Structure formats: C-alpha cells, structure tokens
Amino acid sequence: MASQARGLQNFISDLRNAKSKEEETKRVDKELANIRKQFTPKGGKVAEDGSNPALSSYQRKKYVWKLVYIHVLGYDVDFGHAEVMVLVRSNKYSEKHVGYTALSLLLRGDDPMVNTVLSTIRKDLTTPSTSEKKNSAPPDAGQSLALCSIANIIGLELIQALHSEVQQTLVAKSSTPNVKKKAALCLLRLVRTSPKVVAGREFAPQVAQLLQDRHLGVLTSAMSLLYGLASQIPDDYESLIPYVVHILGMLVLKKACAREYLYYRTPSPWLQIKLLKFLQLYPTSLVQTPKNGNGKETAADNAAHITQLTSIVSKILTETDVSDSINKSNADHAVLFEAVNLIVTWGSSGPDHLRDGAMKLLGKFISVREPNIRYLGLLTMAKLAQLEGSAESIKKHQATVLVSLKDADISVRRRALDLLFVMCDTDNAERIVDELVAHLVLADAAIREEMVLKIAILAEKYATDLRWYVDTILKLISISGDHVSDAIWHRVVQIVTNHPQGDLQAYTAATLLVAASPRRCHETAVRVAAYVLGEFGFLIAERPGMSGEEQFRILHQHWATSEYQTRAILTSTYAKLANLYEECRPLVAPVFARCKNSVDVEIQQRAAEYASMREAFSPEAVEDLLREMPPFEDNKQSALEQRLRDKEGDDSAAVVKAARPSAAQRERAAQSKAAARAVEEVQAQAKADDVGPIEDDPVSPMSDGSPGTNRPKDRTQKVGIPREVIPAMRKAFSNLCTSPSGVLFENAVLQVGVKQEYVGAQGRISVFFGNLSKKPLFHFRAIVEDVEHLKVQKQGTQGLLDEDENGGCTVAVRTQAKLLLLVEVTAPFDDAPAMRVVFETEEGELHEYPLRLPVVATCFMEPVTLEPAAFMQRWKSLEGQDRECQEVVKAPANAPTIDEEYMTRISRIVTEGLKFGRCQGCDPTPWTVSGAATFRTGAKDMNGNNINVGCLVRVEANPQAGAFRVTTRTLHPLCSKAVKNVALVSIKLSSSP
Amino acid sequence: MIRFFLLQNRQGKTRLSKWYVPPQSRGTHSVEAEKTRIEAEVHRFVTARDKKYTNFIEYNNYKLIYRRYAGLFFTIAVDVNDNELSYLETIHLFVELLDSYFSNVCELDIVFNFNKVYSILDEFMMAGEIEETSKREILDRVKDMEKME
C-alpha cells in the first residue's frame, strides 16, 4: 500500500476535525485559495497550455488530488483543468493516473476541455506499452486508464472520435485480458449513448470470438456488452445462444471454474446471471431454431442445446438450497431467481415440470421469514402470474400474500400489493378489493396513493355489477380522499355516463346524495356528487328525501368550505337543477348573484352566464345547453392505466395486467357495442327474425351473466343452454312478457312453465319445473337474483331455494318442483330478473341454465283513458331527451301485409299486452295506435302516496315499407325504454309467421 | 445496470460516490446539487430501516440495494429488473476487497485513502457493470499499478 502525500493527509485530517459544516467550508475555501495561488505562476509566466511550469510533479499531483477530494465532498471545483491536462499528457504513469482520475471526476462529456486531450487519450488507447518500463509496470496501464476515462466521461464528440478505436482494441489479438474487459464495457457505454456505432450482424461473430475466451473476467465483461447490444436488437445476436448455453453448461453442470472465480463455492454467480439474462431475451429459443447466418447449426445441434439448457435450468431449480453462509445463500438464490425469470419468459413453450417446480419454490419463498427471499418471491410470482394457466395455482396463495401486505417493511408491502393486483380476477376480485380497502385504513401515507390507484383499477376491471364499483370508489374517497386523484373520479363519471343500462345512473345519484349528506365529507365526494346529480339527479328526484330542492340543499351546505374548482362544478349543477325544478330557482338565483363578484374568474363567468341564460336564449336553446353530457369516447387506455405506467414503467407486471381487458370489461364493451349495432340494424331494416335487436336487448330471455354473485366456476364442466333452443326460448320469453301463462323454457330434460298475474304494483308469479327426462334430477335449485327495483318474497318446494350447492331438491321423473314469487315493484326498471336453474343428472352431469323471468315493466301498467287533447298536451310536454324512446322495426319479408286487420292486432298488443289504455281520438288514420298508462310502484313519496310514472306510447305503421315505428314518452327514461322494448318484441312476434 | 454506488457513514457523510448515470438537473439545481440531494435522501432511507427489513428499497424508478457494515452503509442503485441479490453480494465482494487491501478496513482507511478506494472500484466495476469478480485478479492489478507510483 503506497503512502499518501503528507499535505493531502493533513488536509483530510483537518476536514475530519472540523466541528461544523461551517468550519469545514471555511477550511475548504482556504485550501481552494491556496491551490489557486499555487496554480498561478509568480511573475505570470504561464505555459502554453495555461499551466504553471514551475510546479513539481509531486506538487501538481498533490494539489490535483486535493481538488478531487474537495469535489468528492460535494464542493464545486471550477478551475485547475490546465494542470489536470498536464498530468494526463505526462509520460509517467503515476502522473497519468492522477490526471485521468481527476479528468473523469471533474469533467463532463460536454466540457470543451475534453477535446484538448482527445489526441492524448487516443494515443494512450492505441499504444499498448508505456515508455516507463523500468518499474515492470503492466504494459497495458495507459490503455486501461484511457478506457476507464472514456467510460466515465462520455460525450457525443468523444464517441464520434473514439468508438472505432475502442472496438478495434476490444478484438485486437494483442490486447491483454485487462484491456479487453475494459474495452468491452467502454464500448457498452458508447453503445448505450449511441446505439448505431456498432453494426450488429457484422459484430456478432466478433462477440462470439470473445465468448470463447478462457478468462472469466473477460467473459463477464463481454456478457455485459452482449446483453446491452442484444437488448437493443435481439435478432442480430440470436446466433450466439449456443455459445451462451455452452458457458452456462460449463459453470452449472460441470462446475468448471477457476478457483478464484468461485464465490463461496459457487462458480461466478455474476457471470451465470448475465448469461441467464441474455437468454431471457429469446422467449422462443426452446421451440425455434435460431436464425443462423452461416448455416452451420443443424437441427441436431439445436436439439442438443435445448436439452442442455433444460437440464441446466432444472439443476439450478432443484439443487439450490439454503446454506449456513448468508453470502453463499444469496449468491445461489440470485442465480435461482434469474433461472425462474427465464422460465417465465419461456411461458407455455417451456417444459411443464420447470414451470411447476418454479411455482412450488415461489410458494415456499413467499411464506419464509427471511425478508429478502420473501420480497423476491412475491416479485417473481407476480411475473409468473402473467402466464396463462398459472392463475389457479397462484390464487391458492392469496392468504399468504395478504399477510405480507401487513409487513412492517414497505418494500414487502409494495410487492404484496402488486401481486394481489396481478392475481385478481373476476372470481376473487370482491374479496381482494375488500381486503385492500380494509387495509387502506391502516396503511401509511407512503403506499396509500398506489393502493388507491390499484383498487380503483381493479374495481373497474372486475365489477360484474358496476354499482359495486361505484361503492368501492366512494369508500376510497371516504377513507383516503386526498389520494383519490381527479383521474379516478373522472373515470367514475365516464363509466356512469356511458352505462345507461340498468339502474346504475339512478343508483349512483342516490348513493352520492347520501354520501354528500353529512356536513363533513371529503371534497372529492362533493365534486363527484355535484357532477353526477347535475347529470342524473332527475332520476331520483321522485324518491323520498331526494327531490331537486333537497339535492340542492345537500350540495350547497358544502359551498362555503369548498375550493374554487369544486364551486365551479357546483355552479353548473345548480344551473341544471334550476332548469329542471321550479322550486330550485329562487334558491339558486342568490348564489349566482353573489358569484358574479367572485374572485375566481371561472366561477364569475359561469354564474353570470347561467343567470342570464334564460333571458338571452329560447327555452329550447337553454334546454340544449343544460342537457346531459353525451357518452364519453371510450378510450382504449384509461387515464388510470396511464398513471400506473408512468409510475412503474412499461415492463411492470401490474401495467401489463392493467392493459389487458378483463372478462367483465369485454362483456360491458360487447354490450354497448351490441346495443349500438342493434340500433343500426333496425335502422337499416335488417332481417327481423335472425339477429333482431332482441338478442342484445336488456329484456333478452337469457341472463347475461351473474350480477353480484360469486359462483364457483371451476368445479366441473357444466351443461348450459343448447344453442338450438335459444330462438324458441327467445320467442317464448317475448310471448310471456305479454301473456299470463306459457312455457319459458323447454328441452329434453326440463320444462319451465310460468303463470303470472298482476294488480297495480304487485304481482304473483308461479314457476313450474317439470322433469321430462327418464331419470330423477338431483340437487335441483332455482336461484332468483335479487334486484333493487323489486321486493320479492319466495316460496318453493322444499330445498328448491337452497343456496348451498349440495342442497336442493330432487325432482322425480314426470313430477314438478314449484316456485311462487310475490313481487312488488319499487322503482322503474328496464330489464328482467335473472333466474338460474341448476341441477345434476344421475350421471353427475351438472346443468346450469341462466334464464330470465318475464317480469318486465309493462306487467305493472294500469291503463289510463285520456281525452285526445290531454294526450296531445302530455305527449308534447314529454318530448325530447331521454324521456323519449323511439325505434323502427321492419316486418320480415314473409309477414302478412299490414292492413286494417293487422292494425287491430297491434291495437290489441298495446291494450292487452302492454296494458295501455287506447286513446282513440288521437289516431285519425287507421295506421297509428296511441295509448296511455300509469306505471305503478309500491314506493311511497313523502306524503305517503304511491309513486307512479305516467307513460305514453305510439305505434305508427308504414304499410308501404312494411315497418312500424314505436315511440314511447314517459316521465322516466327507464320506463320509456322498457315499454319500447316490450312493444318491439311483441310486434315482431306478431309478424312472424 | 448500476446507476450509482454510495458509501456513507451513519452521520450521513458520503465517503465514496460514483455515478454511472448522472441524475437530471432539476430546475435551478445543478447536476452536482441533485447528486447531493439524492445522496442525502438515500442516507435518510437506509438509516431509518430496521435490521429485519429487506435490503431493497424501491426508489423513484429504480431500486436501492444497501448493506450495512458497522457504521458504514453501502448502497447501489440499480434498474428495477436487475438481480437484487447479486448486487447485495457485489457490495460484500467490494467490502472483502477493501478488507484484503487494508487488512481489516475501517472508516478511517477509506477517508485517508479515498483515491485508493476509487482505484479498487475502477478495477471492480466500470460503466455501471461488474468488470471482474476475482479478488486476486483485482488486488494484483491494483498493486501492480501502485508499483509505478
């Protein structure tokens, strides 16, 4: 160990003894002044290069080292470059060494000073021996220094000037191993900054040459270079796979490794890892013959490599063990995890036993106490989870992962969160999301934002019932509102707006109104509530305690404590409320009046414009301005996914997962697409029978899925509804919508019959399940799903209503099970309740039929007789917006022509099927049928009266075109839609031969 | 690849810092000021952690792998897809190198021989990658070079 210059030692000592930062700074400043003085020659005789020629070699080295030290301590050093250059140019190694060290630390690539030493660097790089031979110094000392400093101070000019020299040095026969190592990494550094300096295909054979070097240090560096190059353009280096497999085989299978490269008895783990990382760039290497330029590789060679690689990975997997030495254990597990990563990249093309083995190991790792291994287990399992078919085995570990979610170490918690996110699917979404929400309460600030974002994405992705999604986001707001970004609540608005099906909009409006009711609630909740009530508040305005006026009062209590952005949203909502409800106007007007003087320009402008709108524009224009927003464009990528990507980078397992649409999302997308398509098809007067809108209609006879239930999916293969009975079923369902009894479903095994009668808001529906097969049916169950808009009382044959799948009743041959439903409607709706019929045959075959009960809105209609004038007045008042629904249906080609007799049938559909009162006076020609009815609900308003919805319908025929136009106008959009749907299916049914 | 290698004592004094990927300057902060800021932040993180925790910290868009030897904290910042355990052993190998070179290294050796420590590091890793993993190879090389001074 060579001794240090005394002056430098003293200086370091002084700084160490400094009692405070100030004292240290003072000492540094003093030293800087001294060095500056030393570098300025007395009498001003500066050498050509700006240095002081009077300095001795010892002094120059000492002062430059001091500068370096000062720089290392974090102080700015902006002089002395000339002296550094003198040292770099020196012929003495000791001076060169200091010079290059200082150069690397003090200069950056874009420093103009670099150019002045360029020729020196080049000379050192290309001249293998220094002039100083007497000390038996390594002949490559100068080369090494030059390479090292190029790697350290990279700049564009330096790359331009030197890359070819570096490349030549790397492959030169005369280069020592030491120079090769440094040249390889130096070239890697150049390639990272400018990928084009190396031409891959021509360079690959030269890398192959390097890979045959016996020196493991050279191999280690060469592999870093190769990995860097190949990650830029993998194809160019695919031909090198055999070399890499060969080296790996030597290390792993033969343990052939020089002693000094054994690290705690493991053959160079660093090299093994680099080799495995390189192989990960070729996910198909196990199934594909590598493209090889020279064609020497035969299929047999390739097969041999695949076998060898498989046995290498297999050996790593099975022979890694925990050892007493933590260093050995770490080194071995480092290699093991890299091998598992390789198995993950192979995916399903890799051998099953390796994948299973990896899964088993990871399952063990995520439950060990050792935190590093557990962390890596969680991390790697999340990668494995992306593979097809791995979901089930990973889900088994859910409980274990949840334990890590509560770990004291945030690094572990993050990984656990990530893995839960990745393993989440439709089956376990509710459980995982609930767990995460529960944990959010306890989670510290560092991880909350990440959790909130992930929960929001999961809830959206896997909601089989979007109401659950809305509830979840509300919970997030109430637990951790500060971390719910605008992007998250904007997404709620988007989704609710884009899903008019079902009662999502009304549900959201009602839920948010309740959420905003307390005096103290998070501002984000106020924002969503304000926006949603502005859009969909009218849907709930008839519910007790939710009138427009009450909506206003609940929102307005937050006004004083809200920020300007929130007030801006509130202002728009007030305008909409005032437009809809007379009684709100006097409440809103003073708010607007005050806001005209608001310091916030946006609010000032909104208030002024809304306040004067009524005078300035026609009522239609005002209506137009305050209309609900149109559906949002369905972006492929939600803003939330973008956020996740920004945070975690493109490669993270979570990002990949988030980008892949879930089954629930696909279904929702398909539904809206189908709805759009159905409208188009009808407009294009498509064939009525085959693919009419009924297929995608919410009143379809088949239940589309399973809102809000978790049923076990995986047990055995289930027999569903055979395709061929679907058209008949659809017809039977349509028929039952307007008739008191009939068959809902029939196949060779089972017949389901329905009898129904309705009085006002109440109905009594009997369902009969007849066994048509020759053997009894076991575990027979009928599951009627609860829906919000119906209060249902159920009675049935013993066991029929069991929830447990081992329960159920037995239906003997030629007998029936019976189900009696007493329903009361409480709110408008436009779909039909789902009923699943599940049973097992004697052979153990599991049948499951998702059906829908024909309990539709029109069942609860009560005919109303209206004078023509009254009808027209109401008709006009309900025009426009979503209170109106219209659709055209064309009769099939073989349908009877539309004549007066046909119109009587239509009239019967309206009066008997839809239960509307015919309004004769409104139909001057035989080609229209108008009717009125009241939709009765059992819900009470504040005065204790039942809430009812007035409904009007009009069917207009165009005999020439053979088409009908159905228009419905009601006080409630869902009613309009429901009546229209039933009318359409009935007309279609009547026209089919 | 390695973004930076840090050696700090418990009080937060940086004893060695090598940046292979310099940080972006932020606003009025120069690159150097940004380095100082990050080094201080890293110190805050590693000293606050319990012994029972992992040796890994997820930091910005990369990872910190750290290890404590008596009063010294060694920290390597690497890309997220780098092999954590191998860098944990990289730290250990470096400590073994210092230990052999100084025979039982202590903080003072590192303080007074900072330039030697840099020389050893330069033979051990370069351009953010491990260059050589044989202790003998590295130490022989360092000693050969010293003979020339």
Integer angstrom CA distances of residue A550 from A187, A458, A542, A557, A577: 72, 34, 11, 11, 10
Residues pairing with A835 in the sheet: A784, A851
pLDDT score at A132: 46
Question: Is A58 known as a binding-site position?
Answer: yes
Most confident of the ranges A190-204, A461-475, A938-952:
A461-475
Tens-place pLDDT, residues A876-885: 878 776 778 8
pLDDT score at B110: 92
Task: Read off the pTM.
Answer: 0.67
Look at phi and psi of residue A755 and say left if phi exceeds 0, alpha if psi is from -120 to 50, else beta.
beta
Count of other CB atoms within 10 angstroms of residue A157: 13
d(CA B98, CA B103): 8
| pLDDT at residue A83 tops 90 | no
Tens-place pLDDT, residues B34-59: 888 999 999 999 999 999 999 999 98
Higher pLDDT pick, B65 / A989: B65
pLDDT score at A679: 55
A748's CB contacts (< 8 A; 6+ apart) are A772, A773
Tens-place pLDDT, residues A214-254: 999 999 999 999 999 999 999 999 999 999 999 999 999 99
- Residue A701: pLDDT band with limits 50, 70, 90: very low
d(CA A920, CA A924): 8
Give the closest of A132, A224, A327 to B89, CB-based.
Answer: A327
Question: Which residue ranges form the domains of chain A, and what is each CATH number?
Answer: 683-855 (2.60.40.1230), 858-991 (3.30.310.10)
CB B42 within 8 A of CB B6: yes
pLDDT score at A131: 44
- Residue A149: pLDDT band with limits 50, 70, 90: confident
d(CA A19, CA A81): 31
Q: Please give the DSSP secondary-structure letter assigned to residue A942.
A: T
pLDDT score at A508: 93
d(CA A682, CA A892): 12
CB A523 within 8 A of CB A489: no
CB A752 within 8 A of CB A744: yes
The identity of residue B69, as a single letter, is Y
Residue % of chain A over a pLDDT of 90: 23
Higher pLDDT pick, A614 / A430: A430
Give the closest of A9, A94, A148 to B148, CB-based.
Answer: A94
| pLDDT at residue A741 tops 90 | no
**Residue numbers in A near B81 (CB within 8 A):** 651
The identity of residue A473, as a single letter, is I
Question: Is A64 known as a binding-site position?
Answer: yes
- Report, as an integer, the average pLDDT of A284-306: 68
pLDDT score at A56: 85
Half-sphere exposure of A913 (CA within 13 A, CB side): 26
**Residue numbers in B near A409 (CB within 8 A):** 49-50, 52-54
| pLDDT at residue A788 tops 70 | yes
d(CA A911, CA A918): 6
Burial pattern A616-633, b for ≥16 Cβ within 10 A else e, equals: eeeeeebeeebeeeeeee
- Report, as an integer, the average pLDDT of A887-909: 79
DSSP string, A187-246: HHHHHHH-GGGS-HHHHHHHHHHHHT-S-HHHHHHHHHHHHHHHHH-GGGGGGGHHHHHH
Integer angstrom CA distances of residue A823 from A248, A744, A761, A859, A936: 72, 18, 8, 11, 13
Higher pLDDT pick, B132 / A637: B132
| pLDDT at residue A421 tops 70 | yes
**B142 CA to chain A: closest CA distance, Å?**
9
Tell me whether strands A946-958 and A762-771 are parallel, antiparallel or unpaired.
unpaired
Q: Please give the DSSP secondary-structure letter assigned to residue A869.
A: H
pLDDT score at A297: 57
Best residue of B68, B126, B141 to probe chain A, by most A CBs closer than 10 Å: B126
Interface predicted TM-score (ipTM) of this complex, two decimals = 0.97
- Report, as an integer, the average pLDDT of A431-443: 88
Integer angstrom CA distances of residue A584 from A218, A422, A616: 81, 48, 20
- Of the listed ranges A368-377, A478-487, A735-744, B78-87, the least confidently predicted one is A735-744
- Of the listed ranges A140-144, A720-724, A730-734, the least confidently predicted one is A720-724
Record: contact B54-A331, CB cut-off 8 A = no
- Residue A401: pLDDT band with limits 50, 70, 90: very high
Tens-place pLDDT, residues A645-694: 777 777 777 777 777 777 777 777 777 666 666 555 555 543 334 333 33
pLDDT score at A635: 60
pLDDT score at A881: 67
What would the two tokens of residue A392 be? 């089930």
pLDDT score at A703: 41
d(CA A670, CA A657): 20
**Residue numbers in B near A331 (CB within 8 A):** 85-86, 89
- Residue A298: pLDDT band with limits 50, 70, 90: low
CA-based angle A454:A456:A457, to the nearest 5? 65
- Report, as an integer, the average pLDDT of A81-91: 86
pLDDT score at A332: 95
pLDDT score at A129: 58
- Report, as an integer, the average pLDDT of A683-709: 38
Higher pLDDT pick, A501 / A752: A752
Tell me whether strands B62-69 and A741-746 are parallel, antiparallel or unpaired.
unpaired
- Residue A613: pLDDT band with limits 50, 70, 90: confident
Tens-place pLDDT, residues A814-847: 888 888 888 888 888 888 888 888 888 888 888 8
- Residue A992: pLDDT band with limits 50, 70, 90: low
CB B17 within 8 A of CB B35: yes
Q: Which segments of A595-746 are extended strands (E)?
A: 718-719, 741-746
**Nearest to A590, CA basis, from A611, A573, A606:** A611
The residues in B 49-88 lying below 8 A from A, measured between CB atoms, are: 49-50, 52-58, 61, 80-81, 83-86, 88
- Of the listed ranges A172-181, A658-667, A977-986, B14-23, the least confidently predicted one is A658-667
Chain centroid to CA A556: how far? 35
| pLDDT at residue A857 tops 90 | no
The residue whose two tokens read 């000693």 is B143
The DSSP H or E segment spanning A775 is none
The residues in A 241-260 lying below 8 A from B, measured between CB atoms, are: 258, 260
Count of other CB atoms within 10 angstroms of residue A76: 11
Tens-place pLDDT, residues A532-551: 999 898 889 888 889 889 99
Record: contact A651-B56, CB cut-off 8 A = no
Q: Please give the DSSP secondary-structure letter assigned to residue A37.
A: H
Count of other CB atoms within 10 angstroms of residue B30: 11
Phi, psi at residue A794, to the nearest 5°?
A: -120, 135
Q: State whether residue A186 sits within 8 Å of chain B by CB.
A: yes
pLDDT score at A699: 38
The residue whose two tokens read 């949603």 is A532
Class of residue A599 by CB neighbours under 10 A (exposed 0-12, middle 13-18, buried 19+): exposed
pLDDT score at A639: 72
d(CA A408, CA B63): 18
Nearest CA in chain A to B6: A72
Look at phi and psi of residue A944 and say left if phi exceeds 0, alpha if psi is from -120 to 50, else beta.
left
CB A906 within 8 A of CB A987: yes
**A659 CA to chain B: closest CA distance, Å?**
20
A834's CB contacts (< 8 A; 6+ apart) are A703, A706, A707, A784, A785, A850, A851, A852, A853
CB A573 within 8 A of CB A607: no
Record: contact A217-B131, CB cut-off 8 A = yes
- Residue A128: pLDDT band with limits 50, 70, 90: low
**Residue numbers in A near B149 (CB within 8 A):** 2, 93-94, 97
d(CA A903, CA A899): 6
Tens-place pLDDT, residues B73-96: 999 999 999 999 999 999 999 999
Average pLDDT of chain A is: 83
- Return the axis-axis angle of helices A486-498 and A639-648, rounded to nearest 10°: 150
pLDDT score at A698: 36
What would the two tokens of residue A768 be? 């009969």
